[in-house]
Structure formats: structure tokens, C-alpha cells
Amino acid sequence: MGSGDLINRIIAEKNNPVADMVFGPNAVDFGKLVKADVLYKFSSSLQKVFPMYGKESAS
């Protein structure tokens, strides 16, 4: 399955998702996911143990 197929599948499964996470989409594909409103911010209790991974990167 190519990345385009994966992005289309995630969007198609918006109301009944099969996966919990997606890693590695390129900027164009990430934009498609944002536009389709299928992403939400992830947080974990491990952020207390590794606080540097929960911070937004400064641009």
C-alpha cells in the first residue's frame, strides 16, 4: 500500500477508524489529513517521565 492509499484509507475510515496512530506522512499528505479533520493531538502519561517530548518545537 502506498502512502496515498494509506491517506485515502484514513480519511475514508474517519467515522469508524481501524488505526490509532499514523507515522510519517509527508507535508502534502499531512495537509490532507488536517483538512479532512481526522487528526487530534496525542498525549501520554509518559510526557511526565519524558517532558522534552511533549513540547511544541519552536520555529
Query: 3-58 pLDDT, tens per residue?
Result: 889 999 999 999 999 988 888 889 999 999 999 999 888 777 777 787 776 666 55
- Cα R_g (the chain), whole angstroms: 14
Contact at 8 Å (CB) between 25 and 7?
yes
- Does this model's pTM top 0.75? no
What percentage of the chain's residues is helix, strand, coil (to nearest 5)? 40, 0, 60
CA distance 21 to 18: 9
Determine the pLDDT at residue 42.
Answer: 77
Q: Which residues neighbour 46 within 8 Å (Cβ) at sequence distance 6 or greater? A: 53
